[in-house]
Chain A
Amino acid sequence: MDQRSIADVTVLSPTGRIDLDTTPPLQDCLLPLTQVASAKVVVDFAGVSYISSSGLRALMLGAKAARAAQGRLVVCCLNPAVAEIFRISRFHLVVEVQNDLAAALAALSSSAAAAYRHG
Protein backbone atom coordinates (compact mmCIF):
# COMPACT_ATOMS: atom_id res chain seq x y z
CA MET A 1 0.00 0.00 0.00
CA ASP A 2 1.59 3.26 -1.13
CA GLN A 3 1.36 5.88 1.60
CA ARG A 4 2.78 9.40 1.54
CA SER A 5 2.43 12.68 3.37
CA ILE A 6 1.76 15.97 1.58
CA ALA A 7 2.06 18.71 4.20
CA ASP A 8 -0.52 17.78 6.86
CA VAL A 9 -2.44 15.30 4.67
CA THR A 10 -1.80 11.56 4.40
CA VAL A 11 -2.52 10.01 0.99
CA LEU A 12 -3.15 6.28 0.59
CA SER A 13 -2.98 4.87 -2.94
CA PRO A 14 -4.29 1.30 -3.18
CA THR A 15 -4.05 -0.42 -6.56
CA GLY A 16 -5.99 -3.02 -8.51
CA ARG A 17 -9.05 -4.71 -7.07
CA ILE A 18 -10.40 -3.92 -3.62
CA ASP A 19 -12.29 -7.06 -2.63
CA LEU A 20 -12.58 -9.57 0.21
CA ASP A 21 -8.98 -10.64 -0.44
CA THR A 22 -7.31 -7.25 -0.75
CA THR A 23 -9.34 -5.15 1.70
CA PRO A 24 -7.49 -6.24 4.90
CA PRO A 25 -4.20 -4.49 4.04
CA LEU A 26 -6.11 -1.34 3.04
CA GLN A 27 -8.12 -1.40 6.24
CA ASP A 28 -5.00 -2.05 8.34
CA CYS A 29 -3.44 1.11 6.86
CA LEU A 30 -6.54 3.27 6.81
CA LEU A 31 -8.01 2.72 10.28
CA PRO A 32 -4.97 3.76 12.37
CA LEU A 33 -4.60 6.87 10.20
CA THR A 34 -8.22 7.92 10.62
CA GLN A 35 -8.13 7.31 14.39
CA VAL A 36 -5.56 10.08 14.91
CA ALA A 37 -7.17 13.25 16.27
CA SER A 38 -8.03 15.75 13.51
CA ALA A 39 -6.31 13.60 10.88
CA LYS A 40 -6.73 14.52 7.20
CA VAL A 41 -6.67 11.45 4.99
CA VAL A 42 -7.13 10.97 1.25
CA VAL A 43 -7.67 7.60 -0.41
CA ASP A 44 -6.59 8.07 -4.02
CA PHE A 45 -8.48 5.61 -6.26
CA ALA A 46 -6.49 6.44 -9.41
CA GLY A 47 -4.99 2.93 -9.45
CA VAL A 48 -8.16 1.12 -8.37
CA SER A 49 -10.09 -0.77 -11.03
CA TYR A 50 -12.83 -2.27 -8.89
CA ILE A 51 -14.37 -2.19 -5.41
CA SER A 52 -16.72 -4.63 -3.70
CA SER A 53 -18.70 -4.18 -0.49
CA SER A 54 -15.64 -5.40 1.46
CA GLY A 55 -13.79 -2.25 0.42
CA LEU A 56 -16.83 -0.07 1.09
CA ARG A 57 -16.99 -1.57 4.56
CA ALA A 58 -13.38 -0.50 5.23
CA LEU A 59 -14.15 3.01 3.99
CA MET A 60 -17.23 3.12 6.22
CA LEU A 61 -15.12 2.14 9.23
CA GLY A 62 -12.54 4.76 8.28
CA ALA A 63 -15.21 7.43 7.87
CA LYS A 64 -16.73 6.59 11.25
CA ALA A 65 -13.30 6.69 12.91
CA ALA A 66 -12.42 10.00 11.25
CA ARG A 67 -15.68 11.52 12.36
CA ALA A 68 -15.16 10.32 15.93
CA ALA A 69 -11.66 11.84 15.94
CA GLN A 70 -12.78 15.16 14.39
CA GLY A 71 -10.76 14.26 11.29
CA ARG A 72 -11.74 14.02 7.64
CA LEU A 73 -11.60 11.31 5.02
CA VAL A 74 -11.75 12.22 1.33
CA VAL A 75 -11.60 9.95 -1.71
CA CYS A 76 -10.68 10.97 -5.24
CA CYS A 77 -10.13 9.73 -8.79
CA LEU A 78 -12.96 7.18 -8.95
CA ASN A 79 -13.15 5.41 -12.30
CA PRO A 80 -16.67 5.15 -13.80
CA ALA A 81 -17.24 1.60 -12.50
CA VAL A 82 -16.23 2.52 -8.96
CA ALA A 83 -18.22 5.76 -9.14
CA GLU A 84 -21.30 3.72 -10.08
CA ILE A 85 -20.86 1.51 -7.02
CA PHE A 86 -20.55 4.63 -4.86
CA ARG A 87 -23.76 5.96 -6.43
CA ILE A 88 -25.74 2.76 -5.84
CA SER A 89 -24.47 2.61 -2.26
CA ARG A 90 -25.03 6.34 -1.72
CA PHE A 91 -21.46 6.51 -0.44
CA HIS A 92 -21.06 10.18 -1.32
CA LEU A 93 -23.04 10.65 1.91
CA VAL A 94 -20.43 8.64 3.80
CA VAL A 95 -17.16 10.04 2.45
CA GLU A 96 -16.40 13.23 0.58
CA VAL A 97 -15.68 12.53 -3.12
CA GLN A 98 -13.41 14.76 -5.21
CA ASN A 99 -12.53 14.49 -8.89
CA ASP A 100 -8.75 14.49 -8.55
CA LEU A 101 -5.97 14.58 -5.98
CA ALA A 102 -5.45 18.34 -6.31
CA ALA A 103 -9.12 18.93 -5.47
CA ALA A 104 -8.99 16.44 -2.60
CA LEU A 105 -5.97 18.17 -1.07
CA ALA A 106 -7.50 21.62 -1.61
CA ALA A 107 -10.64 20.47 0.20
CA LEU A 108 -8.58 19.47 3.24
CA SER A 109 -5.64 21.84 3.54
CA SER A 110 -4.34 24.92 1.76
CA SER A 111 -0.76 24.05 2.70
CA ALA A 112 -1.11 20.55 1.24
CA ALA A 113 -2.66 21.99 -1.94
CA ALA A 114 0.23 24.44 -2.25
CA ALA A 115 2.84 21.74 -1.58
CA TYR A 116 1.25 19.54 -4.27
CA ARG A 117 1.17 22.41 -6.80
CA HIS A 118 4.85 23.07 -6.27
CA GLY A 119 5.71 19.43 -6.73
Chain B
Amino acid sequence: MTGKPIHMPRLRLVGQAAEIGPAVDTVRRFALAAGLPPESCDALALAVDEAVSNILRHAYDAPVDSAVTIDAAADGEGIEVVLADRGRPFSPLDRSPPRLEGGAADRPVGGLGIHLMRTLVDRIDYRREGDVNRLTLSKYRTAALAAGAPRGEDGADDTGA
Protein backbone atom coordinates (compact mmCIF):
# COMPACT_ATOMS: atom_id res chain seq x y z
CA MET B 1 0.00 0.00 0.00
CA THR B 2 1.13 3.55 -0.64
CA GLY B 3 0.40 6.83 1.15
CA LYS B 4 -0.93 7.19 4.66
CA PRO B 5 -3.74 4.68 5.00
CA ILE B 6 -7.10 5.34 6.63
CA HIS B 7 -8.62 2.55 8.65
CA MET B 8 -12.14 1.29 9.18
CA PRO B 9 -12.99 0.52 12.81
CA ARG B 10 -12.73 -3.24 13.29
CA LEU B 11 -15.95 -5.22 12.84
CA ARG B 12 -16.48 -8.26 15.04
CA LEU B 13 -19.12 -10.81 14.07
CA VAL B 14 -20.30 -13.44 16.53
CA GLY B 15 -21.47 -15.56 13.64
CA GLN B 16 -25.13 -14.83 12.89
CA ALA B 17 -26.16 -14.67 9.24
CA ALA B 18 -28.10 -11.48 10.03
CA GLU B 19 -24.77 -9.76 10.76
CA ILE B 20 -23.57 -10.15 7.17
CA GLY B 21 -25.72 -7.42 5.57
CA PRO B 22 -24.81 -4.65 8.02
CA ALA B 23 -21.12 -5.64 7.97
CA VAL B 24 -20.98 -5.69 4.18
CA ASP B 25 -22.75 -2.32 4.04
CA THR B 26 -20.18 -0.88 6.44
CA VAL B 27 -17.30 -2.06 4.26
CA ARG B 28 -19.04 -0.71 1.16
CA ARG B 29 -19.59 2.70 2.75
CA PHE B 30 -15.94 2.79 3.83
CA ALA B 31 -14.86 2.01 0.27
CA LEU B 32 -17.15 4.72 -1.11
CA ALA B 33 -15.86 7.24 1.42
CA ALA B 34 -12.32 6.31 0.39
CA GLY B 35 -13.21 7.32 -3.15
CA LEU B 36 -13.40 4.00 -4.98
CA PRO B 37 -15.82 3.91 -7.92
CA PRO B 38 -19.28 2.66 -6.88
CA GLU B 39 -19.03 -0.46 -9.04
CA SER B 40 -15.72 -1.36 -7.37
CA CYS B 41 -17.39 -0.85 -3.98
CA ASP B 42 -20.23 -3.17 -4.99
CA ALA B 43 -17.77 -5.79 -6.16
CA LEU B 44 -15.70 -5.56 -2.99
CA ALA B 45 -18.85 -5.73 -0.84
CA LEU B 46 -20.00 -8.93 -2.49
CA ALA B 47 -16.54 -10.49 -2.22
CA VAL B 48 -16.55 -9.73 1.52
CA ASP B 49 -20.07 -11.19 1.78
CA GLU B 50 -18.91 -14.40 0.14
CA ALA B 51 -15.86 -14.66 2.37
CA VAL B 52 -17.87 -14.08 5.55
CA SER B 53 -20.66 -16.42 4.44
CA ASN B 54 -18.09 -19.12 3.78
CA ILE B 55 -16.61 -18.71 7.25
CA LEU B 56 -20.01 -18.79 8.96
CA ARG B 57 -21.08 -21.86 7.01
CA HIS B 58 -17.94 -23.95 7.13
CA ALA B 59 -15.26 -22.76 9.55
CA TYR B 60 -16.68 -23.93 12.86
CA ASP B 61 -18.22 -27.15 14.16
CA ALA B 62 -19.90 -25.43 17.11
CA PRO B 63 -21.03 -21.88 17.90
CA VAL B 64 -18.23 -19.55 19.03
CA ASP B 65 -18.10 -16.22 20.86
CA SER B 66 -16.35 -14.47 17.97
CA ALA B 67 -16.54 -15.96 14.50
CA VAL B 68 -14.67 -13.43 12.39
CA THR B 69 -13.15 -9.96 12.53
CA ILE B 70 -13.06 -7.61 9.55
CA ASP B 71 -10.49 -4.83 9.16
CA ALA B 72 -10.14 -2.52 6.20
CA ALA B 73 -7.57 0.07 5.19
CA ALA B 74 -7.55 2.42 2.22
CA ASP B 75 -4.69 4.35 0.66
CA GLY B 76 -3.75 5.87 -2.67
CA GLU B 77 -3.51 2.47 -4.28
CA GLY B 78 -6.79 0.98 -3.15
CA ILE B 79 -8.40 -0.95 -0.32
CA GLU B 80 -7.39 -4.02 1.60
CA VAL B 81 -9.96 -5.93 3.63
CA VAL B 82 -8.61 -8.49 6.08
CA LEU B 83 -10.85 -11.23 7.47
CA ALA B 84 -9.53 -13.26 10.41
CA ASP B 85 -11.12 -16.35 11.92
CA ARG B 86 -10.06 -19.20 14.18
CA GLY B 87 -11.94 -21.89 12.31
CA ARG B 88 -10.50 -24.85 10.47
CA PRO B 89 -7.71 -24.03 8.00
CA PHE B 90 -9.18 -23.11 4.64
CA SER B 91 -7.62 -21.43 1.64
CA PRO B 92 -10.07 -20.37 -1.07
CA LEU B 93 -7.08 -20.25 -3.42
CA ASP B 94 -6.85 -24.05 -3.33
CA ARG B 95 -10.28 -24.50 -4.90
CA SER B 96 -10.55 -25.10 -8.61
CA PRO B 97 -13.17 -22.98 -10.36
CA PRO B 98 -16.66 -24.46 -10.69
CA ARG B 99 -18.12 -25.52 -14.01
CA LEU B 100 -19.78 -22.42 -15.47
CA GLU B 101 -20.95 -23.82 -18.78
CA GLY B 102 -24.16 -25.64 -19.50
CA GLY B 103 -27.66 -25.37 -18.16
CA ALA B 104 -29.19 -26.20 -14.80
CA ALA B 105 -28.97 -29.94 -15.41
CA ASP B 106 -25.24 -29.89 -16.08
CA ARG B 107 -23.94 -27.61 -13.36
CA PRO B 108 -23.18 -28.26 -9.71
CA VAL B 109 -25.18 -26.48 -7.03
CA GLY B 110 -22.25 -25.09 -5.05
CA GLY B 111 -18.86 -23.50 -5.60
CA LEU B 112 -20.02 -20.14 -6.93
CA GLY B 113 -19.17 -18.15 -3.80
CA ILE B 114 -15.44 -18.62 -4.10
CA HIS B 115 -15.61 -18.03 -7.85
CA LEU B 116 -17.39 -14.72 -7.27
CA MET B 117 -14.93 -13.69 -4.56
CA ARG B 118 -11.95 -14.39 -6.81
CA THR B 119 -13.51 -12.66 -9.79
CA LEU B 120 -14.66 -9.53 -7.98
CA VAL B 121 -11.43 -8.45 -6.30
CA ASP B 122 -8.04 -7.73 -7.83
CA ARG B 123 -5.99 -9.79 -5.46
CA ILE B 124 -6.51 -12.42 -2.76
CA ASP B 125 -3.93 -13.51 -0.23
CA TYR B 126 -4.39 -16.28 2.31
CA ARG B 127 -2.21 -17.16 5.27
CA ARG B 128 -2.62 -19.57 8.14
CA GLU B 129 -0.97 -17.87 11.14
CA GLY B 130 -1.01 -20.13 14.17
CA ASP B 131 -4.69 -21.00 14.60
CA VAL B 132 -5.90 -18.03 12.54
CA ASN B 133 -7.03 -17.93 8.93
CA ARG B 134 -6.14 -14.54 7.51
CA LEU B 135 -7.73 -13.70 4.17
CA THR B 136 -6.86 -10.41 2.48
CA LEU B 137 -9.04 -9.08 -0.32
CA SER B 138 -7.60 -6.15 -2.30
CA LYS B 139 -9.36 -3.84 -4.69
CA TYR B 140 -7.34 -1.25 -6.58
CA ARG B 141 -8.50 2.23 -7.50
CA THR B 142 -7.81 1.95 -11.18
CA ALA B 143 -8.17 -0.75 -13.77
CA ALA B 144 -4.59 -0.10 -14.90
CA LEU B 145 -3.25 -0.97 -11.47
CA ALA B 146 -5.45 -4.03 -11.35
CA ALA B 147 -4.31 -5.22 -14.77
CA GLY B 148 -0.64 -4.87 -13.84
CA ALA B 149 -0.97 -6.43 -10.40
CA PRO B 150 -0.20 -10.05 -9.65
CA ARG B 151 -3.24 -12.23 -9.20
CA GLY B 152 -3.92 -13.90 -5.88
CA GLU B 153 -2.55 -17.24 -7.01
CA ASP B 154 0.87 -15.74 -7.76
CA GLY B 155 0.72 -13.22 -4.97
CA ALA B 156 0.38 -16.04 -2.44
CA ASP B 157 4.08 -16.74 -3.02
CA ASP B 158 5.17 -13.58 -1.24
CA THR B 159 3.74 -14.71 2.08
CA GLY B 160 6.90 -16.68 2.72
CA ALA B 161 4.77 -19.79 3.15
Contacts and interface: CB of A to CB of B under 8 A. Distances in A.
Nearest to B98: A89
B116 A85 contact: yes
B130 interface: no
Given A52-B49, A63-B104, A57 B112 contact: yes
B109 A88 contact: no
Interface residues of B, number: 29
A113 to B, nearest CB: 24
A54 B57 CA distance: 11
Nearest to B52: A20
Majority-rule SS of B interface residues = helix
A93 B113 contact: no
Contact of B109 (A50, A61, A81): A61
Nearest to A90: B100
Complex A-B, nearest 7 residue pairs according to Cβ-Cβ distance, in ascending order: A63-B104, A53-B113, A21-B17, A53-B112, A20-B53, A90-B100, A20-B17
30 contacts: A19-B17, A19-B20, A19-B53, A20-B56, A20-B57, A21-B16, A22-B21, A50-B46, A52-B46, A52-B49, A52-B50, A52-B116, A57-B110, A57-B112, A60-B104, A60-B109, A67-B103, A67-B104, A67-B105, A81-B39, A84-B39, A84-B42, A85-B46, A88-B115, A89-B100, A89-B112, A89-B116, A93-B102, A93-B107, A94-B104
Interface of B: 16-18, 20-21, 24, 39, 42, 46, 49-50, 53, 56-57, 100-105, 107, 109-110, 112-113, 115-116, 119-120
Given A88-B115, A93-B101, A95-B104, 10 more contacts: A17-B21, A19-B17, A19-B21, A20-B53, A20-B56, A54-B113, A84-B42, A89-B100, A93-B107, A94-B107
Interface of A: 17, 19-22, 50, 52-54, 56-57, 60-61, 63-64, 66-67, 81, 84-85, 88-90, 93-95
